[in-house]
Amino acid sequence: MANRPTRLVLGSASPRRKTLLAKAGLDFLVLPADVDESFDPALAAEVAAVMLAERKANAASLLAALDLPDESPWVIGSDTLVVLGDDPTSKAPGRLPTYLGKPLDEREALSMLARLSGTTHRVVTGVAVVRRGESPENTTVVSSAEVTHVTMREITEPEQRAYVDSGEWRGKAGGYAIQESADQFVDQLDGGGFDNVVGLPVALTLKLLQKAGWTA
């Protein structure tokens, strides 16, 4: 296996993750896989994010085995969760954790933005790297999660409506995109970095790749 050609595969259709990896100077193939993204909401956010990232990476590695039969690529899977109410530094202590996924419509996007207004929530991104071996016993799986505490100022109702009307919320966990105009609502980031909130902590991803045996 050591003599087989290798490359990186991003198992995600997210243009944001693609951009972050490209800016890091990595050469990779995009090969997303559709997976079931449901999980037990009683799980800790870090556990759920890593589980979903591994699920995506494993699914994409199966596709890679079909598309690249003579290679053994390192496959990156990632999943980002926005969670409100289960963090001790939250401004709403004692609330049960609430996972905010991708809004289905404008009404849900507006509701999410209103719930996040004036709070500190967590953005948790799980990252997994899978390199499939010639047998399951020889398959490498490494994974971890990064957490960013995002403090938002109070967002007025007209601001909420204007943001939802912009359409930036579409396809975004939590209904906002910090890399676009939603950064105007953010007062502070603690813990993980800006790229984690965008959808892929690059330093963590590189660390996991190296742990899995990849070299630049």
Q: Active-site residues: which are they?
A: 79
d(CA 5, CA 92): 51
SS (H, E, C) 178-194: CCCHHHHHEEEEEECCH
d(CA 79, CA 55): 10
What amino acid is encoded at 29 in this protein?
L
Instruction: Specify the DSSP element, H or E, that contains 206.
Output: helix 202-211
Closest CA to 98 of 198, 161, 171, 174: 174
Q: Which residue has the tokens 């598309």?
A: 67
